[in-house]
Amino acid sequence: MAEDNRRVSVHKIQKDFYMIKAEDTSIKYFEGLWEIPEGVTYNSYVLIGDEGSAVFDTVSRGFTKEFIEVLKSLIDVKDVKFVVVHHMEPDHSGALPELIKELNQAAEVLGHPLTGRLIESLYGLKPRFRPVKDGEVVKLGQHKLTFIHTPWLHWPETMLTYVEDLKYLVTCDVFGAYSIPKHVEIDVNQLPTEYEYFMRKYFANVIGYYRENILKNLNKLKQLNLRVEAIAPSHGSILKGENVLEKALTLYESWAKAEALDSKVTVVYTSMYGYVERVVEYIVKALSENGVNANVFKFTSYERSNVSDLLGEVLTSKLVIVASATYDADLFPLTTYILELIVKKTNAEKPLILLTVYGWGDIASNKAKELISKSKYKIVRNYGINGLVKDKDYVELNKLIKEIIELVRG
Protein backbone atom coordinates (compact mmCIF):
# COMPACT_ATOMS: atom_id res chain seq x y z
CA MET A 1 0.00 0.00 0.00
CA ALA A 2 1.33 3.44 -0.89
CA GLU A 3 0.29 6.89 0.24
CA ASP A 4 1.09 9.31 -2.58
CA ASN A 5 2.19 12.87 -1.96
CA ARG A 6 2.91 14.32 -5.38
CA ARG A 7 6.15 12.66 -6.52
CA VAL A 8 6.97 11.02 -3.19
CA SER A 9 5.33 7.95 -1.63
CA VAL A 10 5.80 5.77 1.44
CA HIS A 11 5.71 1.97 1.31
CA LYS A 12 5.55 -0.46 4.20
CA ILE A 13 8.04 -3.21 3.39
CA GLN A 14 7.52 -5.13 6.61
CA LYS A 15 6.91 -4.41 10.27
CA ASP A 16 9.12 -1.49 11.36
CA PHE A 17 10.74 -0.97 7.92
CA TYR A 18 9.50 1.55 5.33
CA MET A 19 10.65 2.94 2.02
CA ILE A 20 10.14 6.60 1.12
CA LYS A 21 10.44 6.76 -2.67
CA ALA A 22 10.85 9.88 -4.81
CA GLU A 23 10.19 9.37 -8.52
CA ASP A 24 12.17 11.63 -10.84
CA THR A 25 10.47 11.66 -14.23
CA SER A 26 11.88 15.07 -15.20
CA ILE A 27 15.56 14.20 -15.12
CA LYS A 28 17.25 13.88 -18.52
CA TYR A 29 20.90 13.40 -17.63
CA PHE A 30 21.90 11.59 -14.44
CA GLU A 31 24.87 13.35 -12.83
CA GLY A 32 24.50 15.88 -15.66
CA LEU A 33 26.06 13.27 -17.96
CA TRP A 34 24.16 10.01 -18.47
CA GLU A 35 21.04 9.91 -20.63
CA ILE A 36 18.21 8.25 -18.69
CA PRO A 37 14.85 8.66 -20.45
CA GLU A 38 13.66 5.84 -18.16
CA GLY A 39 13.94 8.14 -15.12
CA VAL A 40 15.20 7.21 -11.66
CA THR A 41 14.02 6.89 -8.07
CA TYR A 42 15.66 8.12 -4.89
CA ASN A 43 14.91 5.78 -1.99
CA SER A 44 15.18 6.62 1.67
CA TYR A 45 14.37 4.08 4.38
CA VAL A 46 12.91 4.39 7.85
CA LEU A 47 13.38 1.84 10.63
CA ILE A 48 11.11 2.14 13.65
CA GLY A 49 12.34 0.75 16.96
CA ASP A 50 10.85 0.71 20.42
CA GLU A 51 13.42 3.33 21.49
CA GLY A 52 13.19 5.64 18.49
CA SER A 53 13.58 5.64 14.72
CA ALA A 54 16.40 5.71 12.18
CA VAL A 55 16.35 7.37 8.75
CA PHE A 56 18.67 5.88 6.15
CA ASP A 57 19.74 8.51 3.59
CA THR A 58 17.37 11.09 2.11
CA VAL A 59 16.48 12.10 -1.47
CA SER A 60 17.56 14.58 -4.13
CA ARG A 61 17.19 18.26 -3.15
CA GLY A 62 14.23 18.96 -5.46
CA PHE A 63 12.09 16.54 -3.45
CA THR A 64 12.95 17.94 -0.02
CA LYS A 65 9.57 19.47 0.82
CA GLU A 66 7.58 16.38 -0.13
CA PHE A 67 10.11 14.10 1.59
CA ILE A 68 9.81 15.93 4.90
CA GLU A 69 6.00 15.93 4.63
CA VAL A 70 5.87 12.20 3.97
CA LEU A 71 8.37 11.47 6.74
CA LYS A 72 6.24 13.46 9.19
CA SER A 73 3.14 11.52 8.11
CA LEU A 74 4.95 8.30 8.96
CA ILE A 75 6.66 9.16 12.26
CA ASP A 76 7.10 11.95 14.75
CA VAL A 77 10.48 13.41 13.79
CA LYS A 78 11.16 13.98 17.49
CA ASP A 79 11.51 10.20 17.71
CA VAL A 80 14.37 10.08 15.18
CA LYS A 81 17.42 8.87 17.06
CA PHE A 82 19.77 8.29 14.13
CA VAL A 83 20.20 9.58 10.59
CA VAL A 84 22.45 7.11 8.76
CA VAL A 85 24.35 8.54 5.80
CA HIS A 86 25.70 5.77 3.59
CA HIS A 87 26.99 8.04 0.85
CA MET A 88 27.15 11.83 0.62
CA GLU A 89 26.42 12.31 -3.09
CA PRO A 90 23.62 14.91 -3.31
CA ASP A 91 21.09 12.59 -4.95
CA HIS A 92 21.02 10.82 -1.56
CA SER A 93 21.83 13.69 0.81
CA GLY A 94 19.93 16.52 -0.90
CA ALA A 95 17.23 16.69 1.81
CA LEU A 96 19.74 16.23 4.64
CA PRO A 97 20.08 19.97 5.48
CA GLU A 98 16.31 20.36 5.94
CA LEU A 99 16.09 17.12 7.90
CA ILE A 100 18.91 18.24 10.22
CA LYS A 101 17.07 21.55 10.68
CA GLU A 102 13.84 19.72 11.57
CA LEU A 103 15.66 17.50 14.06
CA ASN A 104 17.29 20.51 15.73
CA GLN A 105 20.37 18.54 16.89
CA ALA A 106 18.11 15.97 18.60
CA ALA A 107 19.39 13.05 16.52
CA GLU A 108 22.86 11.77 15.81
CA VAL A 109 24.08 11.62 12.22
CA LEU A 110 26.05 8.41 11.69
CA GLY A 111 28.45 7.81 8.83
CA HIS A 112 31.93 6.99 7.66
CA PRO A 113 34.61 9.19 9.33
CA LEU A 114 34.94 11.17 6.08
CA THR A 115 31.20 11.89 5.97
CA GLY A 116 31.31 14.59 8.66
CA ARG A 117 33.81 16.62 6.60
CA LEU A 118 31.67 16.20 3.49
CA ILE A 119 28.52 17.41 5.27
CA GLU A 120 30.38 20.58 6.19
CA SER A 121 32.01 21.06 2.78
CA LEU A 122 28.86 20.35 0.73
CA TYR A 123 26.25 21.96 2.99
CA GLY A 124 28.11 24.15 5.49
CA LEU A 125 26.58 22.24 8.39
CA LYS A 126 27.97 20.80 11.62
CA PRO A 127 25.33 18.39 12.94
CA ARG A 128 25.73 15.99 15.87
CA PHE A 129 27.90 13.75 13.80
CA ARG A 130 29.33 10.45 15.04
CA PRO A 131 31.75 8.52 12.83
CA VAL A 132 31.20 4.77 12.86
CA LYS A 133 33.93 2.19 12.44
CA ASP A 134 33.88 -0.70 10.00
CA GLY A 135 31.95 -3.51 11.70
CA GLU A 136 30.66 -1.25 14.48
CA VAL A 137 27.28 -2.22 15.93
CA VAL A 138 24.67 0.27 17.10
CA LYS A 139 21.39 -0.69 18.76
CA LEU A 140 18.05 0.95 18.03
CA GLY A 141 15.80 -0.64 20.61
CA GLN A 142 15.20 -4.21 19.47
CA HIS A 143 17.11 -3.64 16.22
CA LYS A 144 20.85 -4.13 15.79
CA LEU A 145 22.62 -2.20 13.02
CA THR A 146 26.03 -3.27 11.75
CA PHE A 147 27.94 -0.81 9.57
CA ILE A 148 30.12 -2.12 6.76
CA HIS A 149 32.65 0.17 5.09
CA THR A 150 32.82 -0.37 1.31
CA PRO A 151 35.27 2.33 0.15
CA TRP A 152 35.18 3.38 -3.51
CA LEU A 153 31.92 1.63 -4.15
CA HIS A 154 31.77 4.28 -5.48
CA TRP A 155 32.94 7.14 -3.20
CA PRO A 156 35.61 6.75 -0.48
CA GLU A 157 33.06 7.15 2.33
CA THR A 158 30.50 4.63 1.04
CA MET A 159 29.17 2.15 3.58
CA LEU A 160 26.28 -0.29 4.01
CA THR A 161 24.05 -1.16 6.97
CA TYR A 162 23.01 -4.68 7.94
CA VAL A 163 19.83 -4.79 10.05
CA GLU A 164 20.43 -8.12 11.73
CA ASP A 165 16.97 -9.02 13.08
CA LEU A 166 15.25 -8.17 9.79
CA LYS A 167 18.10 -9.63 7.70
CA TYR A 168 18.00 -6.50 5.54
CA LEU A 169 21.05 -5.00 3.85
CA VAL A 170 20.67 -1.27 3.10
CA THR A 171 23.12 -0.53 0.29
CA CYS A 172 22.61 2.98 -1.12
CA ASP A 173 24.06 2.97 -4.70
CA VAL A 174 25.20 -0.64 -4.58
CA PHE A 175 22.79 -2.98 -6.42
CA GLY A 176 20.70 0.00 -7.54
CA ALA A 177 19.18 0.63 -10.96
CA TYR A 178 17.87 3.33 -13.22
CA SER A 179 14.13 3.45 -14.10
CA ILE A 180 10.95 3.89 -12.12
CA PRO A 181 9.94 0.27 -11.54
CA LYS A 182 6.30 -0.73 -11.26
CA HIS A 183 7.09 -2.91 -8.27
CA VAL A 184 8.66 -1.82 -4.99
CA GLU A 185 10.09 -5.31 -4.51
CA ILE A 186 11.52 -7.68 -7.15
CA ASP A 187 12.51 -11.35 -6.81
CA VAL A 188 16.16 -11.56 -7.84
CA ASN A 189 15.54 -15.11 -9.08
CA GLN A 190 12.95 -13.83 -11.54
CA LEU A 191 14.69 -10.59 -12.43
CA PRO A 192 12.95 -8.97 -15.43
CA THR A 193 15.30 -8.62 -18.41
CA GLU A 194 14.59 -4.90 -18.64
CA TYR A 195 15.34 -4.33 -14.95
CA GLU A 196 18.63 -6.23 -15.16
CA TYR A 197 19.46 -4.05 -18.17
CA PHE A 198 18.90 -0.91 -16.08
CA MET A 199 20.98 -2.37 -13.22
CA ARG A 200 23.86 -3.08 -15.60
CA LYS A 201 23.57 0.32 -17.27
CA TYR A 202 23.70 2.03 -13.87
CA PHE A 203 26.67 -0.11 -12.86
CA ALA A 204 28.61 0.74 -16.04
CA ASN A 205 27.86 4.46 -15.83
CA VAL A 206 28.30 5.15 -12.14
CA ILE A 207 30.26 2.37 -10.46
CA GLY A 208 32.14 0.53 -13.21
CA TYR A 209 35.28 2.66 -13.13
CA TYR A 210 36.17 1.29 -9.69
CA ARG A 211 36.46 -2.33 -10.84
CA GLU A 212 39.30 -3.40 -8.52
CA ASN A 213 37.57 -1.87 -5.50
CA ILE A 214 34.29 -3.50 -6.49
CA LEU A 215 35.87 -6.95 -6.51
CA LYS A 216 37.58 -6.34 -3.15
CA ASN A 217 34.32 -5.22 -1.55
CA LEU A 218 32.34 -8.09 -3.09
CA ASN A 219 34.84 -10.52 -1.60
CA LYS A 220 34.54 -8.75 1.75
CA LEU A 221 30.75 -9.15 1.72
CA LYS A 222 31.10 -12.84 0.84
CA GLN A 223 33.43 -13.42 3.79
CA LEU A 224 31.01 -11.78 6.25
CA ASN A 225 28.52 -14.61 5.64
CA LEU A 226 25.56 -12.33 6.22
CA ARG A 227 22.11 -13.89 6.27
CA VAL A 228 20.32 -11.51 3.94
CA GLU A 229 16.66 -11.75 2.95
CA ALA A 230 16.39 -8.36 1.22
CA ILE A 231 18.65 -5.74 -0.34
CA ALA A 232 17.41 -2.16 -0.10
CA PRO A 233 19.22 0.17 -2.56
CA SER A 234 18.71 3.91 -2.98
CA HIS A 235 17.72 3.60 -6.66
CA GLY A 236 15.19 1.16 -8.06
CA SER A 237 13.47 -1.76 -6.34
CA ILE A 238 14.20 -3.77 -3.22
CA LEU A 239 15.68 -7.13 -4.18
CA LYS A 240 14.31 -10.23 -2.45
CA GLY A 241 14.26 -13.97 -3.03
CA GLU A 242 16.23 -17.07 -2.11
CA ASN A 243 19.98 -16.44 -1.89
CA VAL A 244 19.39 -12.79 -2.79
CA LEU A 245 22.83 -11.56 -1.73
CA GLU A 246 24.66 -14.37 -3.52
CA LYS A 247 22.71 -13.66 -6.72
CA ALA A 248 23.37 -9.92 -6.52
CA LEU A 249 27.07 -10.49 -5.83
CA THR A 250 27.29 -12.82 -8.83
CA LEU A 251 25.80 -10.18 -11.12
CA TYR A 252 28.19 -7.50 -9.87
CA GLU A 253 31.18 -9.78 -10.12
CA SER A 254 30.37 -10.66 -13.73
CA TRP A 255 29.99 -6.99 -14.62
CA ALA A 256 33.14 -5.98 -12.75
CA LYS A 257 35.01 -8.59 -14.78
CA ALA A 258 33.14 -7.51 -17.95
CA GLU A 259 32.27 -11.11 -18.69
CA ALA A 260 30.94 -11.55 -22.22
CA LEU A 261 27.60 -13.01 -23.20
CA ASP A 262 27.81 -15.56 -26.01
CA SER A 263 28.02 -14.05 -29.52
CA LYS A 264 27.19 -10.53 -28.35
CA VAL A 265 28.55 -7.88 -30.72
CA THR A 266 28.29 -4.13 -30.13
CA VAL A 267 28.91 -1.66 -32.94
CA VAL A 268 29.38 2.06 -32.39
CA TYR A 269 29.99 4.51 -35.21
CA THR A 270 30.18 8.19 -36.02
CA SER A 271 29.28 9.42 -39.50
CA MET A 272 28.91 12.93 -40.90
CA TYR A 273 27.89 12.42 -44.51
CA GLY A 274 27.03 8.73 -44.66
CA TYR A 275 30.38 7.26 -45.71
CA VAL A 276 31.00 5.46 -42.41
CA GLU A 277 27.32 4.61 -42.06
CA ARG A 278 27.26 2.76 -45.40
CA VAL A 279 30.28 0.67 -44.35
CA VAL A 280 28.65 -0.24 -41.04
CA GLU A 281 25.31 -1.06 -42.66
CA TYR A 282 27.07 -3.41 -45.10
CA ILE A 283 28.81 -5.26 -42.26
CA VAL A 284 25.75 -5.43 -39.98
CA LYS A 285 23.52 -6.72 -42.81
CA ALA A 286 26.01 -9.46 -43.70
CA LEU A 287 26.35 -10.48 -40.04
CA SER A 288 22.57 -10.64 -39.64
CA GLU A 289 22.28 -12.86 -42.73
CA ASN A 290 24.73 -15.20 -41.03
CA GLY A 291 22.84 -15.29 -37.74
CA VAL A 292 24.96 -12.76 -35.87
CA ASN A 293 22.93 -9.84 -34.57
CA ALA A 294 24.74 -6.68 -33.53
CA ASN A 295 23.69 -3.95 -31.11
CA VAL A 296 24.26 -0.77 -33.11
CA PHE A 297 24.85 2.67 -31.60
CA LYS A 298 24.99 5.50 -34.12
CA PHE A 299 26.11 9.12 -33.91
CA THR A 300 25.14 10.90 -37.13
CA SER A 301 23.67 14.16 -38.36
CA TYR A 302 20.18 12.73 -37.88
CA GLU A 303 20.40 10.36 -34.95
CA ARG A 304 22.38 10.06 -31.76
CA SER A 305 22.28 7.01 -29.51
CA ASN A 306 22.67 7.18 -25.74
CA VAL A 307 26.25 6.75 -24.55
CA SER A 308 24.87 5.58 -21.20
CA ASP A 309 23.18 2.59 -22.87
CA LEU A 310 26.23 1.92 -25.03
CA LEU A 311 28.47 1.43 -21.99
CA GLY A 312 26.06 -1.05 -20.44
CA GLU A 313 26.06 -3.10 -23.65
CA VAL A 314 29.83 -2.96 -24.19
CA LEU A 315 30.30 -4.37 -20.70
CA THR A 316 28.86 -7.77 -21.68
CA SER A 317 29.93 -7.84 -25.34
CA LYS A 318 32.18 -10.49 -26.81
CA LEU A 319 33.36 -8.13 -29.55
CA VAL A 320 33.31 -4.34 -29.94
CA ILE A 321 33.45 -2.66 -33.36
CA VAL A 322 34.26 1.04 -33.54
CA ALA A 323 33.89 2.88 -36.87
CA SER A 324 34.79 6.54 -37.13
CA ALA A 325 34.83 9.51 -39.41
CA THR A 326 37.82 11.85 -39.63
CA TYR A 327 37.48 15.49 -38.55
CA ASP A 328 39.95 18.39 -38.57
CA ALA A 329 42.76 15.99 -39.53
CA ASP A 330 41.99 14.10 -36.33
CA LEU A 331 39.71 11.48 -34.86
CA PHE A 332 36.07 12.59 -34.94
CA PRO A 333 35.45 14.40 -31.59
CA LEU A 334 32.50 12.22 -30.58
CA THR A 335 34.54 9.10 -31.28
CA THR A 336 37.26 10.43 -28.99
CA TYR A 337 34.70 11.08 -26.26
CA ILE A 338 33.11 7.64 -26.66
CA LEU A 339 36.41 5.76 -26.77
CA GLU A 340 37.67 7.56 -23.68
CA LEU A 341 34.54 6.48 -21.79
CA ILE A 342 34.72 2.90 -23.07
CA VAL A 343 38.34 2.69 -21.95
CA LYS A 344 37.64 4.29 -18.58
CA LYS A 345 34.32 2.68 -17.66
CA THR A 346 34.46 -0.78 -19.25
CA ASN A 347 38.18 -1.51 -19.57
CA ALA A 348 38.48 -5.23 -20.27
CA GLU A 349 40.42 -7.80 -22.27
CA LYS A 350 38.04 -7.86 -25.21
CA PRO A 351 38.75 -7.91 -28.95
CA LEU A 352 38.06 -4.64 -30.75
CA ILE A 353 37.83 -3.92 -34.47
CA LEU A 354 38.66 -0.40 -35.61
CA LEU A 355 37.38 1.02 -38.89
CA THR A 356 38.03 4.53 -40.19
CA VAL A 357 37.04 6.53 -43.26
CA TYR A 358 39.29 9.38 -44.38
CA GLY A 359 39.96 11.82 -47.19
CA TRP A 360 43.62 12.77 -47.51
CA GLY A 361 45.16 10.80 -44.62
CA ASP A 362 44.18 8.12 -42.10
CA ILE A 363 45.16 10.14 -39.05
CA ALA A 364 41.98 9.10 -37.24
CA SER A 365 43.18 5.50 -37.12
CA ASN A 366 46.44 6.44 -35.41
CA LYS A 367 44.66 8.63 -32.87
CA ALA A 368 42.16 5.89 -32.05
CA LYS A 369 44.90 3.28 -31.65
CA GLU A 370 46.72 5.60 -29.29
CA LEU A 371 43.61 5.89 -27.10
CA ILE A 372 42.91 2.15 -27.13
CA SER A 373 46.55 1.31 -26.36
CA LYS A 374 45.99 2.71 -22.87
CA SER A 375 43.42 -0.01 -22.18
CA LYS A 376 43.12 -3.78 -21.96
CA TYR A 377 41.20 -3.89 -25.24
CA LYS A 378 43.03 -5.66 -28.04
CA ILE A 379 42.70 -4.37 -31.60
CA VAL A 380 42.35 -7.52 -33.68
CA ARG A 381 41.71 -5.71 -36.97
CA ASN A 382 42.25 -2.15 -38.14
CA TYR A 383 41.11 -1.07 -41.59
CA GLY A 384 40.92 2.38 -43.13
CA ILE A 385 38.89 3.31 -46.21
CA ASN A 386 39.82 6.26 -48.41
CA GLY A 387 36.48 7.88 -49.29
CA LEU A 388 34.06 5.67 -51.21
CA VAL A 389 34.08 1.91 -50.69
CA LYS A 390 35.88 0.40 -53.66
CA ASP A 391 36.16 -3.18 -54.93
CA LYS A 392 39.36 -3.79 -52.98
CA ASP A 393 37.61 -2.52 -49.85
CA TYR A 394 34.70 -4.91 -50.32
CA VAL A 395 37.20 -7.76 -50.55
CA GLU A 396 38.68 -6.72 -47.20
CA LEU A 397 35.29 -6.12 -45.63
CA ASN A 398 34.10 -9.57 -46.67
CA LYS A 399 37.21 -11.09 -45.09
CA LEU A 400 36.50 -9.06 -41.98
CA ILE A 401 32.90 -10.28 -41.81
CA LYS A 402 34.10 -13.91 -41.92
CA GLU A 403 36.60 -13.16 -39.17
CA ILE A 404 33.88 -11.63 -37.01
CA ILE A 405 31.60 -14.64 -37.44
CA GLU A 406 34.43 -17.02 -36.53
CA LEU A 407 35.43 -14.91 -33.54
CA VAL A 408 31.96 -14.65 -31.96
CA ARG A 409 31.16 -18.30 -32.59
CA GLY A 410 34.54 -19.53 -31.44
Distance CA 150, CA 172 (A): 11
Asked whether 259 and 316 are in contact (CB, 8 A), the reply is: yes
Domains of the chain and any CATH numbers: 2-256 (3.60.15.10), 265-409 (3.40.50.360)
Q: Of 345, 331, 332, nearest to 300 (Cα)?
A: 332
Q: Average model confidence (pLDDT) for the chain?
A: 96
Q: How far apart are CA 356 and CA 75, in angstroms?
A: 61
pLDDT the model gives residue 2: 44
Q: Is residue 296 within 8 Å of 284, Cβ to Cβ?
A: yes
pLDDT in tens, 45-69: 999 999 999 999 999 999 999 999 9
Give the rounded percent of residues in the chain with a pLDDT score beyond 90. Answer: 96
Polymer length in residues for the chain: 410
Please write the tens of the pLDDT for every residue from 320-341: 999 999 999 999 999 999 999 9
- Which residues of the chain are under the pLDDT cut of 70? 1-6
| Residue 208 DSSP code | G
pTM, rounded to two decimals: 0.95
